[in-house]
């Protein structure tokens, strides 16, 4: 029976999983915290530690396959979108990679906005001008001594594939997150590269998601035990890979991909490059299916908000999710939080649309001396949900997702019934928790398998959360009369402070 390995280089964790084909069921999963180097406000991936960890986890997957290890046919890699590594002509590479949410590129983004060049950037790339973009990370690196001549920028998944196969290439879904890719004409933009004085060969040749990049290098085979016939592929951006894992459909479905951050992804036949979509900060991109485009927006703190809240309030996470969360969920269903007026604005790593600001700060408002710990945790759930609802309003220009749209959810939210029900109740549409184990790594395998002509039969369970329209009325009123005005006041205050 054939096998494949999926790799997911994420914000919090990096995972390597062995899957059986054609079911795509996980056989063995390895994970490690994504290694980071923090210095003040700056956060980098520790690249050499990351490479060693991935090779070690690949070895463990090979061992788990036992006598069948020779049947591991391919590896497919997915990753976060904006981080990358400079690979030099002599085969050396950067020791560090700036984390996607790190705002060291802020001054370059602000210059593009103040000069008006941000409009040109959006018309070409479909990406709102923001410090997260790889383009501005590269400009910061150049100013701080990085030699770009003769070097190649590889997004994180492309870098891992290069380590394994030796081939320099760039996945389209990841290229479309760099702010240097012409999303309509399917090429890196000479206009943008020339404007910033960047080498035209800085970015690797484009490849379609899932395409083979060659066999594993002999040295990689020796270190890991992978068969020399094993090919290496890149499925692309982690959210797109996750969408594939839950079989996202065009037109009547949206994807809510949750993790440290969370985003909303819609599929379409063409990008939206209007003045309105630029103002609403809609991110366009390529999908793993080359005939489709994505519209995407995200908020930086979703799962992070729960991690922070539980730690700050003294919960043991495992105990909370096993014992406290079911009680909190029942209390919500019974209406015990209908009168709660504690509001949490989850700007722990800045704000999302419509006023994206990497320097925005979080806020809890409405506490009294009688406020309980449960109320504060509930406020974390509700505030995170309201921030997502604001993103949805922005994505749809205030029209809403539409009552016939189903929102498929992957990641931590799919295992949190309170969070899921709040989403359904506030937005008034059906949310579907997709129980896909390691959705990104699994999606990576599915993308590569299908690209290479294999039939896969990926099955997963789903739980539907229907909106309670009594709760919808209460939550929607609080969202519009309290949460949005509070966020607008925060924006006004922070802009005043900045000036």
Residues 17-75 pLDDT 10s: 999 999 999 999 999 999 999 999 999 999 999 999 999 999 999 999 999 999 999 99
Instruction: Work out the end-to-end distance of the chain between its first and last CA atoms, rounded to an integer number of angstroms.
Output: 64
Range with the poorest average pLDDT among 166-170, 229-233, 257-261, 390-394? 257-261
Q: How much is the CA Rg of the chain, to the nearest whole Å?
A: 22
Q: Where are the CATH 3.30.420.40 domain residues in the chain?
A: 3-241
What integer pLDDT is reported at residue 246 of this predicted model? 93
What integer pLDDT is reported at residue 109 of this predicted model? 96
Q: What angle do CA 170, 172, 173 make, to 5 degrees?
A: 115
In contact, 155 and 178? CB cutoff 8 Å: yes
CATH 3.40.50.2020 assigned to domain 303-431+468-498? The reply is no
Structure tokens at 442: 């699994």
Q: Percentage of the chain surpassing pLDDT 70?
A: 100
Task: Provide, for the chain, the percentages of residues in helix, strand and coil under a 3-state DSSP scheme, each rounded to the nearest 5.
Answer: 40, 25, 35
User: Architecture of domain 3-241 in CATH?
Assistant: 2-Layer Sandwich (3.30)
To the question of pTM greater than 0.75 for the whole model, the response is yes
Separation between Cα atoms, residue 4 and residue 226, nearest integer Å: 11
What integer pLDDT is reported at residue 489 of this predicted model? 96
What integer pLDDT is reported at residue 339 of this predicted model? 85
Mean pLDDT of the chain: 95
What integer pLDDT is reported at residue 340 of this predicted model? 86
Structure tokens at 42: 């700056």
What integer pLDDT is reported at residue 1 of this predicted model? 59
Q: Is the pLDDT of residue 457 over 90?
A: no
Q: Percentage of the chain surpassing pLDDT 90?
A: 90
Structure tokens at 419: 């969070």
Question: Where are the strands (E) in 269-379, listed by range?
Answer: 283-286, 293-299, 343-345, 363-365
Q: CB count, 10 Å around CB of 21?
A: 22
Selection from 491, 101, 132 nearest residue 301 by Cα: 101
**Greatest extent of the chain over all pairs of C-alpha atoms, in Å:** 66
Residues 173-220 pLDDT 10s: 999 999 999 999 999 999 999 999 999 999 999 999 999 999 999 999
Selection from 235, 220, 180, 184 nearest residue 204 by Cα: 180
| Exposure string over 366-405, b if 16+ CB within 10 A, otherwise e | eeeeeeeebbbbbbbbbbbbbbbbbbbbbbbeeeebeeeb
Residues 209-262 pLDDT 10s: 999 999 999 999 999 999 999 999 999 999 899 999 999 999 899 999 998 889
Q: CB count, 10 Å around CB of 469?
A: 11
Query: What sign results for the dihedral spanned by CA atoms 269, 271, 276, 280?
Result: positive
In contact, 99 and 10? CB cutoff 8 Å: no
Q: Where are the CATH 1.20.58.2240 domain residues in the chain?
A: 303-431+468-498
In contact, 236 and 448? CB cutoff 8 Å: no
458 versus 135: which is more confidently predicted? 135
Average pLDDT (272-289) is 94
Separation between Cα atoms, residue 9 and residue 159, nearest integer Å: 11
Separation between Cα atoms, residue 205 and residue 172, nearest integer Å: 10
Separation between Cα atoms, residue 45 and residue 235, nearest integer Å: 21
Q: Is the pLDDT of residue 338 over 90?
A: no
34 burial via Cβ count (<10 Å: 0-12, 13-18, 19+):
buried
Return the H-helix or E-strand segment holding 463.
strand 461-465
Residues 232-246 pLDDT 10s: 999 999 989 999 999
């Amino acid at each position: 029976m054939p096998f494949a390995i999926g790799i997911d280089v994420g914000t919090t964790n990096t995972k390597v999983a062995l899957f059986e084909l054609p079911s795509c069921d996980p056989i063995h999963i390895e994970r490690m915290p994504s290694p980071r180097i923090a210095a003040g406000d700056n956060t980098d991936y520790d690249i050499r530690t990351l490479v060693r960890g991935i090779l070690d986890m690949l070895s463990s997957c090979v061992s788990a396959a036992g006598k069948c290890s020779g049947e591991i046919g391919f590896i497919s890699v997915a990753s976060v979108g904006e981080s990358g590594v400079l690979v030099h002509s002599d085969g050396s590479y950067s020791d560090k990679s700036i984390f996607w949410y790190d705002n060291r590129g802020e001054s370059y983004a602000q210059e593009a906005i103040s000069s008006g060049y941000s409009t040109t950037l959006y018309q070409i790339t479909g990406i709102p001008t923001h410090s997260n973009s790889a383009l501005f990370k590269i400009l910061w690196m150049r100013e701080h001594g990085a030699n770009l001549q003769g070097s190649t920028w590889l997004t994180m998944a492309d870098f891992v594939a290069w380590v394994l196969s030796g081939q320099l290439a760039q996945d389209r879904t990841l290229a479309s997150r760099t702010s240097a890719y012409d999303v309509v004409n399917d090429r890196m933009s000479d206009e943008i590269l020339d404007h910033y004085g960047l080498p035209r060969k800085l970015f690797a040749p484009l490849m379609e998601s899932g395409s083979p990049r060659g066999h594993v290098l002999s040295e990689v085979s020796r270190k890991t035990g992978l068969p020399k016939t094993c090919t290496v592929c890149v499925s692309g951006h982690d959210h797109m890979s996750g969408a594939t894992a839950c079989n996202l459909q065009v037109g009547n479905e949206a994807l809510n991909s949750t993790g440290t951050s969370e985003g909303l992804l819609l599929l379409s036949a063409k990008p939206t490059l209007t003045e309105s979509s630029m103002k609403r900060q809609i991110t366009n991109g390529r999908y793993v299916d080359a005939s489709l485009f994505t519209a995407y927006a995200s908020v930086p703190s979703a799962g992070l908000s729960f991690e922070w809240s539980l730690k700050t309030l003294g919960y043991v996470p495992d105990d909370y999710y096993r014992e406290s969360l079911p009680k909190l969920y029942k209390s919500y269903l019974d209406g015990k939080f209908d009168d709660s007026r504690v509001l949490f604005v989850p700007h722990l790593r800045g704000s999302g649309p419509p006023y994206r600001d990497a320097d925005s700060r979080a806020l809890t408002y409405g506490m009294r001396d009688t406020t309980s710990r449960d109320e504060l945790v509930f406020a974390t759930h509700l505030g995170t949900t309201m921030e997502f609802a604001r993103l949805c309003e922005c994505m749809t220009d205030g029209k809403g997702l539409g009552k016939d749209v189903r929102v498929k959810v992957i990641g931590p939210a799919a295992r949190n019934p309170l969070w899921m029900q709040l989403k359904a109740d506030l937005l008034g549409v059906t949310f579907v928790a997709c129980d896909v184990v390691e959705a990104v790594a699994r999606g990576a395998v599915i993308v590569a398998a299908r690209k290479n002509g294999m039939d896969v039969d990926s099955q997963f369970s789903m739980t539907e959360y229907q909106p309670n329209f009594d709760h919808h009325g209460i939550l929607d009123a609080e969202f519009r009369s309290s949460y949005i005005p509070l966020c607008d006041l925060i924006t006004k205050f922070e802009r005043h402070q900045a000036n």
